[in-house]
Structure formats: structure tokens, C-alpha cells
Structure 1
Amino acid sequence: MLMIQYYILNMPVASVIFALTVGLSIYVFSNPEWFGRLMLHPYSIHRDKSKWYLILTSGLIHKDWMHLIFNMITFYYFGFGLEAIFVEISGPFGHVLFALLYIVALILSDIPTIRQQKDNYGYHSLGASGAISAVLFSYILFNPKMMLYIFFAIPIPAFVFAFLYLGYCIWASKNARDGVNHDAHLFGALTGIVFTLITYPWIIKHFIDKF
């Protein structure tokens, strides 16, 4: 209980995002008819701009438990930490900046998909991966030499992971046929980088000085 109180008081934005995502995802698992109402559907958005809200709601639901758990573990380790970093640098306004990063990443990571799939009635997408990629890459700019663990077992420096991840996303967005929205991962990561560079221009020197 004390830990939950600590997160709510010190990282309120990350706490709300985490709770909303877990809660709404679990709800749609038991009420599958809501998948169709909340998933990203580029065909509908392109023809009815009032459905823009699907960009946001699709980032709060997940396909299954494995999808949800993987994304929330990543968000837990980096989302709460990134909000704390923003607050340490910018004071209370850091909470606003973290919220902006997440929302902007949700939107920008889906725009390429909406453009590409606007005439594909059967295409749907869901999950927070685009925004979480933004959070992860922003965090890496602050801590480029931290160790990440691929499949929770294989250690790799964060800056190496970042280059490999971007390279894989570029390749997969053109070649993979696995049903994963790799464009959202790619543009989410790029949004995280650009947002952090704009917000904290000194991050470039900070990144370089870490080596």
C-alpha cells in the first residue's frame, strides 16, 4: 500500500496511465464486443474524423494477457522512472511533459498506419507499444549505457539495443507479415527521441558525455 501511495504521489501521470491501461484491457478481455469499438480502424478514421478518439482508446487496450503483461512490464520499468526524471529536471511541470510525450507518441505513432491502411476495411490495430517505445527511447537518451535484458535474460547496453531496435523496425515494417504494427513501434521510438531533443536540447551533449 505504501508503494502504491508513493507512485501516486510522485508519479501520478504514469500511475493513471498504468491503471487505465490495465483496467480497460482486462475489461475488454471479458467483453470482447468492446474491441471493435475501441481498436484503431484507419478506414473509419479516414472517412469520419469524429472517430479520431480511436487513436487514444486503441492505446489503452491489448490483444491478450501476454501483450498486456509485456507492455506493462516495460512501462513499469521505464515510464515511472522517466516521469521522475522529467520532474527532477523541470519540477512539477515535468508531469505535464510526461503526459504530453505519451499522448503525442500515441497519436504520431499511429498516423503512418492510418495513412497506409486508410482503404483497408479489414485492418485493425491496438496496444500501447508506440507510446511505450517513445518512453523507452526517451529514457535511453538519459541513460544510454544502462543494461537492458532481451527476453529478460540476454544483457545488452541500451544504446546498442536502440540501434538494433530501430534497424529491425525499419526492416520489419517492410518485410514482416506477423500481424504486428512495426510502424507504430518505429514512429513511437522516433517520437520519443525528437520530443526529448526538443524539450531538453542539452540531452545530446549529455548522451555523448556518458561514453
Structure 2
Amino acid sequence: MSITLILIILTSGVSIYAWSHQDLLDKWVFHPFSVNKKNQWYRFVTSGFLHADWTHLFFNMLSLYFFGEVVERVFMASFGYEMGIALYLLIYLGGMIIADIPTYIKHKKDFDYRALGASGAVSAIIFSSILFNPLNLICLFAFICMPGFIFGFVYLIYSYYQGQRMGGGINHSAHFYGAVFGFVVSFLLLPGSGVNFIEQIGAWRLPFFN
């Protein structure tokens, strides 16, 4: 079984269990105030295995399924099975942690602020995949499709803008920083991927110019 599927099963199981066990949800949710006052640093990771509802869980795990398999194969092909898994987890768990650091700094004295979800980790995996395959089509709402590098550009701008506005009750800054982490660390781990990324984009043409 792939590490991507293991993460999906584990995250889904924990999320579903926590919906009916409020004590676990309270203990594991990302609560910057508790991290700051009680040194509960584990919340940076445990909160990434919790989700607010079925919709939140479904879209995160669906995205992880489609993009995670690509990243997993690239790392295993380049570094071997064990090291490939370790580096894949570095991207996933590292994205999960790094994505929440700006949120922690901003809300560490805010008792009422809480956050949960694997969005930062999943964003890291998505942008690692975009680095490796920038021309693969990514579709929004099943009918708005665009090459990955264009999607990534739009995603970063939107996430940064919404993060400044704190729009919609969603932690958009986690999406932004997770995405940047996944792209940059993957680039550093596989330097040739940068050249491949640029070459693929350079060869891309709009469909009506082909």
C-alpha cells in the first residue's frame, strides 16, 4: 500500500473518530494559545489529522490522492523506496508544520482561535507535483482546467490575498506557506527538477497557437 493511501486512511479515521469524541478534538486541534502557554507543540502535527466536516475531509483527501501518488513515485524513483518515503513525509509533515507557523505567531495570544485540517500539508504535495509536472491539467469544479503552473500562480495570489483579509473563516495563509514550502524543498531535493520545470513551461503554447 502506498504511503499516500496510508495517510488518507489514517487522516480519515482520526477525523471521523474525533467528530464524536470532543475531548480528542479539543486536545489535538491547533490552538496557538495552548502551544504558547503550555508548550503543546504536538498540535502542529495532530491538527493536520483533524477536519471540520465531510466536505473538508473529502476535498483534502481527494487532492492528496491525485497529487500524492505523483510525488511519491518521483521520490521513490530518484532516491529508492525507504528514502523516497522519508522525503515524501518530509514534504507532507513539513508542510503541515511550516504552514501553521505564521498562524501561531499571529494568534499565540488569542485564546479563541483554533484551526484544523491537512490543507497546508496537501498544498505542499500539490506544489511539489506542479514542480515535477507543470503542464499537467488541474481542474476546478470539474470543468475549469488549466496547466499546473498557471493554477499554482493563481492559487498563490488568491491564498496570499485572502490570507491578508482573513476571508471566509479559512486559514488561507496555511495554504500559501504550505505550497511555497512544498515547491522550494522539492526543488532543493531534486535540483534537476528546476531545469525540467522551466523547459516544460518554455515549450508550452496556448492551444489555439499550436
TM class, shorter-length: over 0.9
- 2:41 maps to what in 1? 52
Unpaired runs of at least 5, structure 1: 1-7
Alignment of 1:31-180 (within 5 A): 31-49=21-39, 51-92=40-81, 93-180=83-170
Q: CA deviation at 1:153?
A: 2.0
Partner of 1:119: helix, strand, or coil? Answer: coil
Q: CA deviation at 1:61?
A: 0.7
Q: CA deviation at 1:81?
A: 2.1
- 1:196 maps to what in 2? 186
Q: CA deviation at 1:177?
A: 2.9
- 2:208 maps to what in 1? none
* Greater Cα offset, 30-39 or 171-180: 30-39
Alignment of 1:16-31 (within 5 A): 16-31=6-21
Cα pair 2:130 2:149 within 8 Å, conserved: yes
Please tell me the residue identity of whatever aligns with 1:115: I
Hey, what's the Cα distance between the residues in 2 that align with 1:86 and 1:152? 28
Q: CA deviation at 1:16?
A: 2.2
Partner of 2:182: helix, strand, or coil? Answer: helix
Q: Does residue 183 of the first structure (1) align with residue 170 of the second (2)?
A: no
Q: CA deviation at 1:33?
A: 3.4
Please tell me the residue identity of whatever aligns with 1:16: I
Partner of 1:52: helix, strand, or coil? Answer: coil
Please tell me the residue identity of whatever aligns with 2:88: F
Please tell me the residue identity of whatever aligns with 2:59: F
Unpaired runs of at least 5, structure 2: 204-210
Partner of 1:27: helix, strand, or coil? Answer: helix
Hey, what's the Cα distance between the residues in 2 that align with 1:142 and 1:83? 11
Q: TM-score, normalised by structure 2?
A: 0.92
Q: CA-to-partner distance for each residue in 1:55-74, whole Å, 9 max, x for gaps?
A: 11100010000000000100
Partner of 1:40: helix, strand, or coil? Answer: coil
Identity in percent:
38
Cα pair 2:131 2:187 within 8 Å, conserved: no
Q: CA-to-partner distance for each residue in 1:39-98, whole Å, 9 max, x for gaps?
A: 00001101222x111111100010000000000100010112211111012112111110
How many residue pairs get aligned? The number is 200
Q: CA deviation at 1:150?
A: 0.5
Q: CA deviation at 1:193?
A: 0.9
Partner of 1:136: helix, strand, or coil? Answer: helix
RMSD: 1.1
Please tell me the residue identity of whatever aligns with 1:66: T
